[in-house]
Structure 1
Amino acid sequence: MSNKNRFKVAMSGLWPKTLKNRLFIILGFNVLIPLTMVILISYKSVYPLLDQRIRTGIQNNLNLYQMSLENTLANINNVSQILAYDGRIGKKLSQFLDEKDLYKKTQINNDIQQDLTIISSTNPTLGLFFYYFEDQKKILYQNYTVNPVFSLEKLPRLVELNGITYYGPHLTNRQYSNVQVLSVARKIVMPDQNNVYVYLETGYKLWDKINQTGHGESMNEYRLILDQENRVTFSENTNDFPIGSILRDSPAGKLKEAKGYYVFETASNQGWKAVYLISKAAYHKEVIRWIEQLVIILIISILLCSLFALGIWRMVYVPLRKVNQDMRLVEKSDFDTPLSQFSIVEFDTMMRHFDTMRDRVKELLEENALKEQRRADFEVEKLLYQINPHFIHNTLDTIQWLARLKGQEDIDTVATSLNKLLYYNLGKKGPQSTIAEELEALKDYLTLQKIRYDFEFIVHIEAPEELQNCLVPRFILQPLVENSLYHGNFDKDGLIEVAVEPDGREYIIIRIRDNGRGMTPETIARLLEKQSEEQNRIGLGIGVYYVKRVFDTGYNGQADFSISSTIGEGTCITLRIPRTHAMKKGESL
């Protein structure tokens, strides 16, 4: 088996056998293929846009967060500059520390307190602030009560620039408070004083506002602040990113990932970084929602396709079922029940053609039944003419011996010829015989006819030796010669010619010609019809109709039988028979 045939066999095994399943598959492909292509094209074009929009939104949010932190730290830095040594209050502090006169010292202290009050009232974002003498662990001019365990070393240092140390978000050092703040420690250089700092914190309300720039923990989104060494100084997710841990960089060109989160970061011009963490599920949430919508559309389309296929199937199935019922009626030979009618043009047209075909089948069946009846009649009629051949032979033998005993030579000749003729015509040798046997029987027949008729006629027979062994149907020459004798109406010497001659290599032609009075076309037509009483009186009652039937049933259209006649000139019957043709098996004459 070729590969092409194997492929066809494999495909035929996969392809459904029922129209319903094929309809579902075809409509399914017609819907799913375009829809799948639309989904793929949409995914290729929309997904990058969604991804870019998500990244842009996160990055803008992170930039806003970073700017808020920078502005807050800048405000604190500005205030710390006023409180530093080179500022107005810082100089007064230096005078306060150096002054020995108690009265003047009190006066300077009051001035400092008044200035600090003004600064505090004019900077609402400012929280706790004070001067810190690290060596002496002494605190001056604090606006709120300071936590006794205060220590700069314990604070999460963010970056140190130009003597200013920025600290990341941490719990305030204000006693009895636990809010998150940002802080700055500026080192002050004073005569005779070392390690003096002015310490300032943001107001907690400002930090809460900054902390609300993102979605918060409910969305699995967190913020980190890293120092210059990528060390975490502030974390909203201390479980995965504890304070002091290092956040490593990812390869360039890829979306940075860490512990199941996508990492977005932006660097401050001061060197620290603001980091935004978002879980992968939260990051892809919008894309997943969009994909879910596409899947829902796909499922709805499949359901609609199935409903359409079911509707179309029902539209086709009901007419097909009725057509099948009508065909079963024809199968049961019911040709009279009215056919079903539909409101579909295609089915109505088909039923009209089916009705025409049904009428034609009915006609053919009736015609075939008539032919079978005629065939049965013909067989019965043939049997009637073969009544007890043994009785006839025995009777003729008896007549023949009686004639010989009494010296009646004419009767002996007639009985002998008739016995031989009947033996040939009523014999059991099969439906075929040779041309030689057919001619021999014809001669016996002519011997009897010369005694019967009271006029003289001559029979001239010509048959080449090479054709005498060709097979022909039994008993075809006698009826034709008998027709010449009966319809010839010879006035004087009659002539009947029987000629056998070749027609190429495959056919032979047999002609029976007479010089009688001829026949009219009507007479010829009657001869070729079913036997009439007049024909039954001719010879053995079989006649030309028998020969015509033999040709029709035995040669399947490969033999020709024709009669031509002219009034006053005679008649010619021509037979054209296949030379090597054998009749059908079991065919009887």
Structure 2
Amino acid sequence: MTLKKRIFLLFFLSAFVPFISIFAISYYTIDSIFANKIDDGIRSNLQQVTSSLENSITNLNHVTQQLSYSGTAGKRLQQFLDPASGIFEKIEARDELKSELSVVTFTNPNIGLTLYYFQKEGTTQFGNFPIKDRFSPEALPILFQSYGISYYSPHVSMNRFNDELVLSAMRKVKLSGRDDVYIYVESGFRLTEDILGSNQSSSTVSHLILDAEGNTVYSEIPDTIRVGENFNSLTSASGKDGTSRGYHWFKTDSPQKWSVVSVISQDQYQQEKNQWLVRIMLVALFFLGFTVFLAWLLWKMVYKPLGLFHSEINGMSKNPQTADRQQARTAIPEFDFLLSEFSNMQHQISDLFTEVQQKEKIRADLEVEKLLYQINPHFLMNTLDTVHWLAVMNGQGEIDKLVQALNKLLYYNLGKLGQISTMQEELNALGQYLILQQIRYDFEFDVRITADEQVLQIPVPRFILQPLVENSLYHGLSDEGFIQIEVTCTSTLNIMIQDNGAGMSEETIQKLLNNRVAEQDKVGMGIGLNYVHRMLKAQYGNQAQLRIESEPGKGTNILLILPIKGEDAHHDKSVNS
């Protein structure tokens, strides 16, 4: 997993594990609080509705009792209905009865329509309000009956000018000679709706009113529970609370055997909780965004220094000796300290490279200097010169030729370290070397050297041709053999050495190029192909090429390709033009 992913994962876990834990704990706590709050509110409202309905029913009972028994109103009604009463007595009784009804209804604001109902005739009299066209209390929903009085559940008022819901009661009036007279009383204006509409909870609550058998006599949700439907058969749970048809319900029973049920839809029941969940989710999204933002900032703070480290390491890998670049800064003390330490390390490595190079150069110079001191050039040259003159004086031409060739070859090969050599000097030294080899081995071989005029003054490393030609002599060249040397110039200096000797295997070629000890044992001058290979690497790096193609029994081809530097290339172009 990358550092970036780890940072984001750690930030996510550090932010959301505590948040989710707190959320889980608070969810169950808030759920309990909301449930208790809603339940308590609904139960409180239900108790209030039940008490108000009971009070209204009690009030209706008192009013009907006051207007039906042998009180003032009862006596006046008896006198009004008595056939023996005269016309003036009936008028007086009627006026006093109306006055009595007015006093009762006026002094009781919770009483609305009041009238006497004569069941046989189907007529009404002494109503304090006009009634609708047809008065039929038999069609009203009975809540319960007790002691000769019928109580009706909420229904539309019989008052012609009032379409509000009302409670009503109808009691039989005890009269001598008639048993079909009833007093009918309704609750006051908007009283029932005020009772049923009161709601202390924050959710929308509907009500059902049930009779003693559990039948619904009033429903505020007729689409779900109709009037006349048995509520008890719809609910699977027993007790005061339960769930049915997508509603939560709460029930309370009246001592008079009727019941009030408060119902609330599950969506409404969960509304406050859902609102709280939405707020929590918004907070969670905010935390998530903020956490991702912080993780991104941290990643940027880490990514920039890592990028600088990467750049510094790449620069060092490409050129370990470049330690003079300006130190990068990140404005973060810890990373700046590491970059400073890395810069110090880079300077130390550069110094070590320089020191190693200087030591290697000094060691190489000492080796050559040791070789030069082992063979004192002046003493050797003077001695060979003496031999030369002795050979001349004694007429020894062959010895004279040998000594002169050796003298010239040693003078060239033992030249001062770092002295510049040209291709012409290299070819002249090769000629002296071939003379020595022909005299020493006493056999003839054909050597053909061709070189373009423009290549003769091109500088080349000292002593690179002799080891290549010497390789041909030591690997099976016969009397009929030949060595072809061609030096040409294009954009590079090309040296081709070809022979028709015994040839070599690929294994032998690799051994000659890489095994210095074995070659020094075989080659007379102690220097061979390995020397040429290393010299080219030291002088030209990867710009020079040494290619050897050989097959046993068919000879060897050696191609040496050297770059032409600066003034040499310019001089070469001038000559060609």
Please give the TM-score of this superposition, normalised by the length of structure 1: 0.58
Residue type matched to 1:69 in 2?
Answer: L
2:304 and 2:330 in contact (8 A); partners too: no
Distance 1:35 1:264 in 2: 36
2:42 and 2:200 in contact (8 A); partners too: no
Q: Offset at 1:27?
A: 0.8
* CA shift in 2, pair 1:105/1:372, >3 Å: same
* CA shift in 2, pair 1:265/1:255, >3 Å: closer
- Superposed counterparts of 1:261-300, under 5 Å: 261-300=247-286
CA deviation profile, 1:530-553 (whole Å, cap 9, x unmatched): xxxxxxxxxx99xxxxxxxxxxxx
Q: Does 1:330 align with 2:309?
A: no
- Aligned match of 2:4: 20
- Aligned match of 2:51: 67
Q: Offset at 1:187?
A: 2.1
Distance 2:238 2:13 in 1: 44
CA deviation profile, 1:241-267 (whole Å, cap 9, x unmatched): 221112124424795122211112222
- Aligned match of 1:56: 40
- Superposed counterparts of 1:210-225, under 5 Å: 210-214=195-199, 221-225=205-209
Residue type matched to 1:236 in 2?
Answer: E
CA deviation profile, 1:71-101 (whole Å, cap 9, x unmatched): 2222111111111123331233223323503
Q: Offset at 1:309?
A: 1.3
- Superposed counterparts of 1:199-218, under 5 Å: 199-214=184-199
Residue type matched to 1:270 in 2?
Answer: Q
Distance 1:214 1:194 in 2: 43
- Aligned match of 1:312: 298
* CA shift in 2, pair 1:228/1:383, >3 Å: farther
2:78 and 2:175 in contact (8 A); partners too: yes
RMSD after superposition: 3.0
2:240 and 2:252 in contact (8 A); partners too: no
Residue type matched to 1:240 in 2?
Answer: T
Distance 2:92 2:279 in 1: 75
* CA shift in 2, pair 1:253/1:166, >3 Å: closer
Q: Offset at 1:337?
A: 1.1
- Aligned match of 1:3: none
- Aligned match of 2:128: 143
Identify which of 145, 148, 153 aligns with 1:168. Answer: 153
Distance 2:346 2:252 in 1: 88
Distance 1:383 1:44 in 2: 96
- SS of equivalent residue, structure 1 residue 354: helix
Distance 2:99 2:369 in 1: 153
- SS of equivalent residue, structure 2 residue 8: helix
Distance 1:373 1:267 in 2: 114
Residue type matched to 1:339 in 2?
Answer: Q
Q: Offset at 1:134?
A: 1.9
* CA shift in 2, pair 1:191/1:170, >3 Å: same
Distance 2:178 2:367 in 1: 151
* CA shift in 2, pair 1:364/1:254, >3 Å: farther
* CA shift in 2, pair 1:118/1:373, >3 Å: same
Distance 2:371 2:67 in 1: 149
Distance 2:161 2:41 in 1: 38
Residue type matched to 1:318 in 2?
Answer: K
Distance 1:87 1:288 in 2: 60
1:135 and 1:194 in contact (8 A); partners too: no
Distance 2:282 2:239 in 1: 34
- Aligned match of 1:347: 335
Q: Does 1:132 align with 2:120?
A: no
Residue type matched to 1:344 in 2?
Answer: I
- SS of equivalent residue, structure 1 residue 147: coil
1:226 and 1:232 in contact (8 A); partners too: yes
Distance 2:56 2:239 in 1: 32
Distance 1:71 1:110 in 2: 31
Q: Offset at 1:38?
A: 1.0
Q: Offset at 1:148?
A: 3.8
- Aligned match of 2:71: 87
* CA shift in 2, pair 1:375/1:86, >3 Å: farther
Unaligned runs of 5+ in 2: 376-524, 527-577
- The number of aligned residues is 372
- Superposed counterparts of 1:400-479, under 5 Å: none
Q: Does 1:365 align with 2:353?
A: yes
- SS of equivalent residue, structure 2 residue 341: helix
Q: Offset at 1:360?
A: 2.9
Distance 1:81 1:87 in 2: 9
- SS of equivalent residue, structure 2 residue 231: coil
* CA shift in 2, pair 1:386/1:255, >3 Å: farther
Distance 1:254 1:183 in 2: 27
Q: Offset at 1:65?
A: 1.7
CA deviation profile, 1:193-243 (whole Å, cap 9, x unmatched): 223321111122323322431389x96532221111221111222211221
1:20 and 1:313 in contact (8 A); partners too: yes
* CA shift in 2, pair 1:262/1:319, >3 Å: same
CA deviation profile, 1:140-182 (whole Å, cap 9, x unmatched): 3222233343222210111112222110111112235422211
- SS of equivalent residue, structure 2 residue 180: strand
* CA shift in 2, pair 1:38/1:363, >3 Å: same
1:255 and 1:263 in contact (8 A); partners too: yes
CA deviation profile, 1:88-116 (whole Å, cap 9, x unmatched): 31233223323503133332222212211
- Aligned match of 2:344: 356
Residue type matched to 1:350 in 2?
Answer: L
Q: Offset at 1:310?
A: 1.5
Distance 1:199 1:255 in 2: 35
Q: Offset at 1:51?
A: 1.1
2:79 and 2:89 in contact (8 A); partners too: no
Distance 1:185 1:373 in 2: 132
Q: Does 1:116 align with 2:114?
A: no
Residue type matched to 2:244 in 1?
Answer: A
Q: Offset at 1:372?
A: 5.0
- Aligned match of 1:31: 15
Residue type matched to 1:235 in 2?
Answer: S
Distance 1:142 1:265 in 2: 37
Distance 1:34 1:195 in 2: 78
* CA shift in 2, pair 1:320/1:294, >3 Å: same
2:240 and 2:251 in contact (8 A); partners too: no
- Aligned match of 2:144: 159
* CA shift in 2, pair 1:125/1:371, >3 Å: same
Residue type matched to 1:39 in 2?
Answer: F
- Aligned match of 2:437: none
- Aligned match of 2:551: none
- SS of equivalent residue, structure 1 residue 91: helix
Please give the TM-score of this superposition, normalised by the length of structure 2: 0.59
Residue type matched to 1:276 in 2?
Answer: S
